[in-house]
């Protein structure tokens, strides 16, 4: 039976400016987002019965990758059973957009399997979550509104990031609630001199949710301060956290930084920017890059 496979790339918020909650209950934002090489892997095919297998987390019908495949199947009016295998490498509930990345890749490979034109995917993506349209295109982009307004930017220059995820999970609604309660604080901007040259035109870059996350979970601040001291550079939180990262010249330097970290992290990774949110890969590929 035919199968389609893809890598789904994590998303890092290089900057996240948050505004007051609107009448719709959401906080408008402006974010500079970048897809990075940390990736999950999905394989989708036809089957005799619906099957969903996950390595790295619990399987659920509410999983975004599964919902994406179901959305494509419903869009074409098919009842063909499918089997979806998902290998999780992107830490969950970490502020790295793993669920949205899986949904985008799931939409893309399901469209290929069912013959749905690609121009019908953005609307389905938005129905799955505000970050999914970005992950469908990926690369470097400025996101506005709830994240659904996307202005793509060209990738310029190279750098690497070292990612450390403290051993805790943060609820995105709880972090936004904390931001409201704290009086809508601004995050500390990264000094321009500490940004990769390719990103200096976007300075100042800050994450307004960082103080809110640290108020909810002071361990995040402890990790950030310790990593910054060890690495000799600012350390930033991605999204609503708790994933933390620092900028480095290349993967080797970032790898050395990962080696110099406190014990007890939930996950660590070295990643580089990539120009897309997902990519099709051979079904026989065992692991993502």
Residues annotated as catalytic (active site), given as ranges: 11, 131
Integer CA distances (angstroms), 35 to 7, 131, 139, 270, in order? 12, 12, 5, 13
Q: CA–CA separation, 161 vs 142, rounded Å?
A: 19
- To which H or E segment does residue 251 belong? helix 251-259
Q: Can you tell me the distance from the alpha carbon of 179 to that of 20, in angstroms, rounded to the nearest whole number?
A: 9
From residue 86, how far is each of 167, 220, 268 by CA, in Å? 23, 29, 20
CA dist., res. 92 & res. 243, Å (int): 10
CA distance to 42, 60, 69, 85, 178, per residue, from 52 (Å): 11, 8, 11, 6, 35
Q: Which of 76, 82, 104, 93 is nearest to 213 (CA)?
A: 93
Would you call 203 exposed, middle or buried from its count of C-beta atoms within 10 A (0-12, 13-18, 19+)?
middle
By DSSP bridging, strand 82-87 and strand 149-153 are unpaired
Q: Which among 156, 144, 112 has a CA at the least distance from the CA of 133? A: 144
Nearest CA to 141 among 251, 50, 30, 224? 30
CA nearest to 209, candidates 189, 184, 230: 184
Q: How are beta strands 82-87 and 29-46 bridged, if at all?
A: antiparallel
């Amino acid at each position: 039976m035919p199968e389609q496979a893809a890598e789904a790339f994590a998303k890092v918020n290089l900057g996240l400016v948050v505004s007051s909650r609107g009448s719709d209950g959401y906080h408008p934002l402006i974010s500079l987002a970048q897809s990075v090489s940390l990736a999950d892997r999905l394989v989708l095919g036809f089957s005799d019965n619906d099957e969903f297998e996950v390595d790295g987390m619990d399987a659920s019908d509410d999983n975004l990758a599964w919902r994406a495949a179901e959305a494509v199947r419903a869009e074409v009016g098919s009842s063909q059973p499918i089997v979806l295998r998902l290998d999780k490498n992107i830490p969950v509930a970490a502020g790295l957009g793993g669920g949205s990345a899986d949904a985008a890749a799931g939409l893309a490979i399901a469209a290929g399997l069912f013959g749905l034109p690609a121009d019908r995917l953005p609307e389905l993506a938005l129905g799955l979550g505000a970050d999914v349209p970005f992950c469908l295109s990926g690369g470097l982009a400025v996101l506005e509104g709830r994240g659904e307004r996307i202005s793509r930017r060209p990738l310029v220059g190279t750098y690497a990031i070292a990612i450390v995820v403290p051993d805790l999970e943060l609820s995105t609604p709880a972090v936004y609630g904390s931001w409201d309660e704290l009086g809508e604080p601004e995050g500390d901007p990264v000094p321009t001199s500490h940004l990769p040259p390719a990103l200096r035109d976007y300075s100042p870059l800050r994450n307004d949710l960082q103080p809110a996350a640290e108020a909810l979970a002071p361990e995040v601040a402890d990790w950030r301060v310790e990593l910054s001291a060890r690495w000799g550079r600012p350390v930033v939180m991605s999204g609503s956290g708790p994933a933390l990262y620092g900028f480095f010249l290349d993967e080797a330097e970032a790898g050395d930084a990962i080696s110099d970290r406190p014990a007890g992290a939930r996950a660590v990774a070295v990643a580089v920017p990539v120009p897309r949110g997902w990519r099709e890969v051979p079904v026989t590929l065992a692991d993502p890059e």
